[in-house]
Structure 1
Amino acid sequence: MFHHFFNAKRKIVIELNERYFDKNSLMRAVVQHLESEGKQCEMIDVNTLILDGKKYYVHETNVAATYCPPVQRAVLTEIN
């Protein structure tokens, strides 16, 4: 998994190497990835997690590519 931080928009985008077909599996993979990077992460429900004390809403996107399979991404948006 690769991650890119977009601090100005309070978003984190995680590009996934594998495809996840249900939200629970996707959320577990995101939590596992963030914890492997030393972050404190806890899943609240299938749409929400707490990362280093901040609450984030999580949704997935798919980016189409011309000559390869689409890339699945998890987008974390900070909730106030």
Structure 2
Amino acid sequence: MLRRRAIGETVEQIQPDLIIPTGRRKGCGPSLSSIYRALSEHDKRQAYPEAVQAAHADFAALHQRDRSPK
């Protein structure tokens, strides 16, 4: 998706070629809004990598705390 977008294709041109691999809608194509949401998330992750790392670390610590014996 990102490569095709980088060479100038629009999301509308790319959408028919995309397939959801898992879940309830497995085998269907994503909606335009889902694609734009995913692109927005990707842009946020690229812009703020330290925030993503901090969130992953917080989640791991929380998950580890929940699994520890009481």
- Do both share a fold (TM > 0.5)? no
Which has the higher Rg, Structure 1 or Structure 2? Answer: 2
Q: Which has the higher strand share?
A: 1
What is the TM-score when the length of structure 1 is the normalising length? 0.26
